[in-house]
Structure 1
Amino acid sequence: MRFQSGPATSLQNLGDAIPISLFAVPDLDAGATAGKAIRESVQHRGLAPDPAAWDFLAIALSVITADGISRRGDSPDGWTREIAIDIAVREPEAWASQLLGLNRALGFLTTDRWSLSVRDGGDAIDVPLEPYRYDVDAVALLSGGLDSLIGAIDLTDLGSKLLATSHVVRGDAEKQERFARELGIEHLPLNHNASTERSVKETSQRARSLIFLAYAIVAATCTDRYRAGETVPIYMCENGFIAINPPLTTSRISSLSTRTARPEFLNAIERILRNVGLNLQIINPYLLKTKGEMMQECSDQSRLEALAHVSTSCGRFQRFNYTHCGRCVPCQIRRASFLTWGHDDPTRYYFHEIGKLDSEHAGFDDVRSVAIARLEIEEAGFDRWVGPTLSSSAFADPAPVAAMLKRGMLELGALHDAYRIR
């Protein structure tokens, strides 16, 4: 599919391209829109993002909107799509040299074929005479999930002054605000509000992490530290097992395992940012930790006890009326981490007894996938099971990563043993 994105005034000579209007809702139907609420929030706060960061946001908005419109079921193999987007930016010369890297990074992230191009005419946000700048040391993504909560607790306990950025969605907004308030950190909640004409949207959302990073990148350039010429750390706190996300079975390999926090993707994005002049560093301090270890080693155990059950881990949270399903892989990892932590888990799970032998419990795909992975490890050995996951050049020393993944599988194994899943 072909798209053209940018401010409504820049959308012209479309041909067969689907228009995506950025940062404002046009008077005329533009096919798809995104970013109006973000622009309003930034201007309301008197912020002045770096133009390159605002361009990256335009790119991210274009990508996630096109991702939602392009249905995988319409592609020849039922999954892999070919998506071309011509994007209006403020600094096309700077971004033109990064297109190859961007296309490769997006291809790795979503397992599609991306072809981005840039043109002049990007949005120019109004700069206040006295822009507001955050007096912080770093920016952290605060999703409302357990890992980002632990990350925020640990970082603030280490003395970091944080600015938290969040993607606001129904069911998580109050949690995000509560976590920020109780930790005493500044908070910038945003929502892309991407809207399309299609009633049936693509739900795989493999590109979603790009917009979360874009929020943090924009925020990081609105800090005193950035304006002083210092590197601003952006913390994307994710347990190592989910960050690496090893395919549990051969049927889940590649496109069926998300790559949101894989080092290959985050490293590629950081290189691109630096190449366009953005002095930022993306850090996941928990790459070698399991979720259970994150809970055990959290620096403020009493605060974690008070807030852990409030957090959200489930990818189907809204689908089950804002309740954890209890059976998806993130839910299983969450439940296993509470077991490792050694504390009761007061979280309400829609499917609590995952040991039941029916299609909704032990027979559910994700529960069965973990069981199959355990069996494969038992029969063929852990090294053979994990081998393809660690073949990437991103792992200079794969041994610590392999050790972490092994501990993660042991945590999942303890959960399955507790519910007698075989």
Structure 2
Amino acid sequence: MRFLCGPAGFRVPGISDAMQVVVYGKAEKGQVSVGGYARELLERAHLEISPRAWDFVSIALSVVAADFTALRAKSPDGWTRVIDLEIAVQDPALWNNQARALEGALRFLTTDQWTLSFHAGGFGPPAQLQALHPKEDSVVLLSGGLDSLIGSIDLVEQGIKPYAVSQIVRGDGEKQDRFASSLGLSRIGLNHVTKSPGPQEPSQRARSIIFLAFGLAVATSLDRYHRGETVPLYICENGFIAINPPLTATRLGSLSTRTAHPEYLGRLQQVFDAAGINVKISNPYALMTKGEMLVNCENQAVLAQHAVASTSCGRFQRFGYKHCGRCVPCQVRRASFKRWGSLTDTTKYVYDDLSIDSPQYRGFEDVRSMGMALASVADHGFEQWLGHSLFSTFISDRNGYNQMLARGLDELGVLHRSYGLS
């Protein structure tokens, strides 16, 4: 499926069969719109953003719009899509030089086939008559999740003062504000607000790219960046979920997200470096399990105050803004609370008692897959189960990741045994 992504009226000679994506504007009937509200919020914040970082926001918005609009069910294999993007930017020569690198990152993230071409005519960052250069020394992505909460707490305890960037997600906005306020952090909440004329693709594997793009944009507005210094961009995610090893052979593509995988982040870092964007992506918890993040959090009192209110569920909105209790992220969360041991997990799980012999509880696919993974390790060894999950040139400390994943499985094993599942 081909998309023309740019300001209203953007056209490319010779292309007439593409879906129009209006970036930062209002779509007409039959078109897709994306990014208008985010541009408005950034303009109101008076942040002076690097033009190249702004181009990357435009690219990320185009990717998200296509990801929402192109339905996997219509692809020949029911999953892998072929997506061609024609994108309006300010510096098409630079981005055409980075097109193959971006395609590789997107292919790894979504398992689709992407082709990107860049053209002149894209919007630049909002002009600021009274531009602000915030004094914070870094940016942290604050999602409302438990990992980003711990990361923000630890940064503050270490004497680091990050600017918090959040994606506005219904059900999470108030807790994002609460977390940031309790830590004394400035915060901006943004959202792509994609509107398409038809049904939206439910998998939405590319949505994380816009969160990073928003973080990148804010990072380039900081005083530190404008003084020519490198700005850290912290994405705080436990290593088990970041690697997200397929639990079984059937979960290689559709059920294994890669939003914080070192290969995906490493590929994007190479693009930022080539574009001369002086921002460094960092995940300080790449070699920690979620339970270890809880145990080692540097302010246990603040963590205890907010931990239960955090969001971990992959189906949070679907279940009325409640944790389902049975998806992989929920299982990892529940196991991490057991590992922590300092606070009873009073999260209200829709499917709380996983021992119930029912397709909705014990027999649910994610619960069964986790049980199969634990059984496979017990029967055939960890290395055979792990397979090729760590075969990436962006993973240098394979032994460290190996040990972390084994410890993560141990945490999950404790959870399953507590319900008599293994």
Normalised to the residue count of structure 2, the TM-score between the two structures is 0.98
The match for 2:22 is 21
Post-superposition Cα deviations, 1:193-242, rounded to whole Å, max 9, x if no partner, equal 110001x2111111011000001001001100000000000000000000
The match for 1:354 is 354
Q: Is the aligned partner of 1:309 residue 2:293?
A: no
The match for 1:118 is 118
Runs of 4+ that moved beyond 3 A:
11-14
Q: Is the aligned partner of 1:175 residue 2:175?
A: yes
For residue 51 of structure 1, report the CA deviation from its aligned partner. 0.5
The match for 2:407 is 407
Q: Which amino acid aligns with 1:54?
A: W
For residue 8 of structure 1, report the CA deviation from its aligned partner. 0.6
- Separation (CA, whole Å) in 1 of partners of 2:39 and 2:178: 24
Contact 2:55–2:124 (8 Å) recurs in 1: no
Matches within 5 A, 1:388-407: 388-407=388-407
For residue 129 of structure 1, report the CA deviation from its aligned partner. 3.0
The match for 2:387 is 387
Post-superposition Cα deviations, 1:263-306, rounded to whole Å, max 9, x if no partner, equal 00101101101111100100000000000000000000011111
- Separation (CA, whole Å) in 2 of partners of 1:255 and 1:50: 35
Post-superposition Cα deviations, 1:37-83, rounded to whole Å, max 9, x if no partner, equal 01111111112211101100000000011001111110000100000
Q: Which amino acid aligns with 1:288?
A: L
Q: Which amino acid aligns with 1:260?
A: T
- Separation (CA, whole Å) in 2 of partners of 1:388 and 1:45: 45
- Separation (CA, whole Å) in 2 of partners of 1:89 and 1:257: 31
Q: Is the aligned partner of 1:69 residue 2:66?
A: no
For residue 11 of structure 1, report the CA deviation from its aligned partner. 3.6
- Separation (CA, whole Å) in 1 of partners of 2:275 and 2:262: 20
Identity of aligned residues (%): 49
Q: Is the aligned partner of 1:324 residue 2:332?
A: no
- Separation (CA, whole Å) in 2 of partners of 1:298 and 1:281: 23
Q: Is the aligned partner of 1:98 residue 2:98?
A: yes
Post-superposition Cα deviations, 1:351-405, rounded to whole Å, max 9, x if no partner, equal 0001111100010000000100011111110111113111222222311100000
Match of 1:59, SS state, is helix
Matches within 5 A, 1:216-365: 216-342=215-341, 343-365=343-365
Q: Which amino acid aligns with 1:250?
A: A
Post-superposition Cα deviations, 1:109-142, rounded to whole Å, max 9, x if no partner, equal 0000000100000002342233111111100000
- Separation (CA, whole Å) in 2 of partners of 1:346 and 1:126: 44
Gaps of 5+ in 1: none
For residue 29 of structure 1, report the CA deviation from its aligned partner. 3.3
For residues 306 and 270 of structure 1, do their structure 2 counterparts lie closer, same or farther at Cα, with a shift above 3 Å needed? same
- Separation (CA, whole Å) in 2 of partners of 1:363 and 1:395: 34
- Separation (CA, whole Å) in 1 of partners of 2:384 and 2:374: 12
The match for 1:201 is 200
Q: Which amino acid aligns with 1:204?
A: S
Give the superposed CA RMSD.
1.0
Which has the higher mean CA deviation after the structures are superposed, 124-133 or 368-377? Answer: 124-133
Contact 2:56–2:213 (8 Å) recurs in 1: yes
- Separation (CA, whole Å) in 2 of partners of 1:157 and 1:30: 50
- Separation (CA, whole Å) in 1 of partners of 2:391 and 2:271: 23
Q: Which amino acid aligns with 1:102?
A: L
Match of 1:117, SS state, is strand
Contact 1:20–1:30 (8 Å) recurs in 2: no
Match of 1:10, SS state, is coil
- Separation (CA, whole Å) in 2 of partners of 1:56 and 1:348: 39
For residue 12 of structure 1, report the CA deviation from its aligned partner. 5.6
Match of 1:9, SS state, is coil
- Separation (CA, whole Å) in 2 of partners of 1:239 and 1:356: 29
Contact 1:234–1:280 (8 Å) recurs in 2: yes
The match for 2:214 is 215
Post-superposition Cα deviations, 1:143-178, rounded to whole Å, max 9, x if no partner, equal 000000000000011011110100001100001010
- Separation (CA, whole Å) in 1 of partners of 2:54 and 2:392: 31
The match for 1:59 is 59
- Separation (CA, whole Å) in 1 of partners of 2:298 and 2:115: 44
- How many residues matched? 420
